[in-house]
Chains A and B, each alone.
Chain A
Amino acid sequence: MATIICVDNRKRERPWQLDPKIATLSTIDAYLALSARGDVLLLHGGQPEGPQDARKGRSLLIEALILACQGPGRAVVFSGGEPLVVRDLIREQLQGAGLTEGEHFLLLSAISNLKEEIDLPALMNLTVQPGWRIDSVRRRTAAPTLLALALLSQATLLGTDTTQLDDATRTLLGGACAEARGAGGDGIGLLSPVAWQEVLGASARDEVRSKIEREWPPQMEKSDAIGALVTAIYETPAAFEVPLIARAFRELDKVLAAKQEVRV
């Protein structure tokens, strides 16, 4: 388990709440005074005392980050004033100290929600080893194969007779508004597997399967519906029907929501 310490003088204003196991200090001085600084520092880049001189011409903010990144330690700077100016300065100074962005530190300027940027549960459960990368816990915004399959399912469902869909799926698709926009013949042709093959790479069914396997979160159960959907696309288009697609879409939505990782 990684030990995480947060320094944030504006903790009370945040739209997110950190796990109580993450100790939060309000000043950088309090962090620097610690005898054991933990494995990861989450530091508010806009700390008012940040620009003050520490030593060797460094600011307090830079000093704390360099100390945090010693050995297997890592740091995340979040929020922080005016990113166009501050972010480049921090990056330059940390790189000058031999630290690498992505491996040792992350600069997340002007974010809305730290929990959307960092997978904090994964970070807390991480086993710290030499050379580990802090960007391994950065949330991304989707896994390509799963996202493509989900978009295809979504589009196809909107092109079908939506009375065949259960209420939960209809709501998931965007409700009556989406149905009205998807109707009118727009999506009828989507029931042909040709379009699906085109998007997923027509010649590579096994490649699609292996990509799904790679992108599937390890802690989540495999989905029979998605396996059947891929089989239907490539082998048995007759089995390519609305209930199957709806089940697969719900599964994909669940996985993408849990994973919050659609590769950019």
Chain B
Amino acid sequence: MSTSAVEAPSSWVAGEWQRRRAELTHDWLQNRALPHANALLAITNGAVRGDDAAIAAMSAVLSEWRDRRDDVAWLTEHVVEALSPVNVLDGDSAFVFDEQLRVVSERAWICRHRVEETVASIRTIAFDLDRILAALEPFLRRPQHSRLVAAAPALIAFAAAGRALVEAFRSFPRRGAL
């Protein structure tokens, strides 16, 4: 995790962080992957009907986790640079931070908001999702109705881990919050 103590101020990182966070948790997880995982489970228990084509389309969304993995790594790596209150003041010529002040203030912020604990828990959830996707692999290779029941435990685990990931990102402080 970068503490950005000696890096150049970067509003680009802050903007990019918000964009990637929104794509990961809002667009992909909350609006696509979790609804689709829940829909697959609903098909499994007979609450909803779905043919093999629909099941394949929904399953493909879950497979996208492999592409999202890099975003999780980048987001956890750059969270301090993106959200730290110290960096909010960068670029404002009225405030030239003494390096020592910058380091101590940022460290205090990291401790106060338990940023490292949240990062650790996100990384743990990401490893869990890796394992869950590995368990789902046989189903994802041949996503058919007849194979859904066997995949149900892993789908339930996927939904729980996905919700935990959303919550973990939500627990980061707002950018600039002291």
Is A256 within 8 A of B104, CB to CB? no
**Chain B residue, CB-CB nearest to A262:** B176
Known contacts A144-B95, A172-B112, A173-B112: does B88 contact A82 (CB below 8 Å)? no
**Chain B residue, CB-CB nearest to A208:** B94
Interface of B is mostly: helix
Known contacts A198-B98, A199-B96: does B27 contact A154 (CB below 8 Å)? no
Of residues 1 through 49 on chain B, the ones whose CB sits less than 8 Å from some CB of chain A are 11, 14, 19, 21-23, 25-27, 31
- The docked-state distance in angstroms from the alpha carbon of A37 to that of B97 is 49
- The docked-state distance in angstroms from the alpha carbon of A46 to that of B32 is 12
**Chain A contacts for B174, CB-based, 8 A:** 116, 141, 260
Interface size, chain A (Cβ < 8 Å): 50
**Chain B contacts for A174, CB-based, 8 A:** 108-112
Is A178 within 8 A of B112, CB to CB? yes
**Chain A contacts for B21, CB-based, 8 A:** 110
Is A264 within 8 A of B176, CB to CB? yes
- The docked-state distance in angstroms from the alpha carbon of A195 to that of B107 is 18
- The docked-state distance in angstroms from the alpha carbon of A172 to that of B111 is 10
B93-127 Cβ-contact flags toward A at 8 Å (1 or 0)? 01111101101110111111000000000000000
- Of A81, A147, A198, which is within 8 A of B27 by CB? A81
Is B176 within 8 A of A199, CB to CB? no
Is B22 within 8 A of A109, CB to CB? yes
Q: How far is the CB of A81 from chain B (nearest CB, A)?
A: 6
- Of A112, A158, A200, which is within 8 A of B104 by CB? A158
**Chain B contacts for A159, CB-based, 8 A:** 104
Is A147 within 8 A of B94, CB to CB? no
Stretch binding the partner chain, chosen from A24-32, A58-66, A186-194, A225-233: A186-194
Interface of A is mostly: helix
A151 CB–B CB distance under 8 Å: yes
Is B112 within 8 A of A264, CB to CB? no
**Chain B residue, CB-CB nearest to A152:** B101
* Most A CB within 10 A of own CB, among B11, B103, B174: B174
Is B23 within 8 A of A177, CB to CB? no
B89 CB–A CB distance under 8 Å: yes
Is A182 within 8 A of B104, CB to CB? yes
Is A15 within 8 A of B98, CB to CB? no
- The docked-state distance in angstroms from the alpha carbon of A64 to that of B88 is 36
A84 CB–B CB distance under 8 Å: yes
**Chain B contacts for A116, CB-based, 8 A:** 174
A201 CB–B CB distance under 8 Å: yes
Is A186 within 8 A of B89, CB to CB? no
- Of B27, B101, B108, which is within 8 A of A110 by CB? B27
Inter-chain pairs besides A147-B89, A154-B109, A155-B105, 12 sampled, C-beta below 8 Å: A83-B27, A110-B22, A142-B176, A147-B88, A151-B85, A151-B105, A174-B108, A186-B103, A190-B101, A190-B104, A198-B96, A201-B95
Q: Which residues of B contact A (CB under 8 A)?
A: 11, 14, 19, 21-23, 25-27, 31, 85-86, 88-89, 92, 94-98, 100-101, 103-105, 107-112, 169-170, 174-178
What are 16 sample pairs from A and B whose C-beta atoms fall under 8 A apart? A81-B31, A84-B23, A110-B27, A113-B170, A147-B176, A151-B105, A151-B178, A154-B108, A174-B112, A178-B108, A178-B111, A187-B104, A190-B104, A257-B178, A260-B174, A262-B178
Q: Which 9 A-B pairs have the closest CB atoms?
A: A174-B111, A110-B22, A141-B176, A110-B26, A262-B176, A178-B111, A174-B112, A155-B104, A177-B111
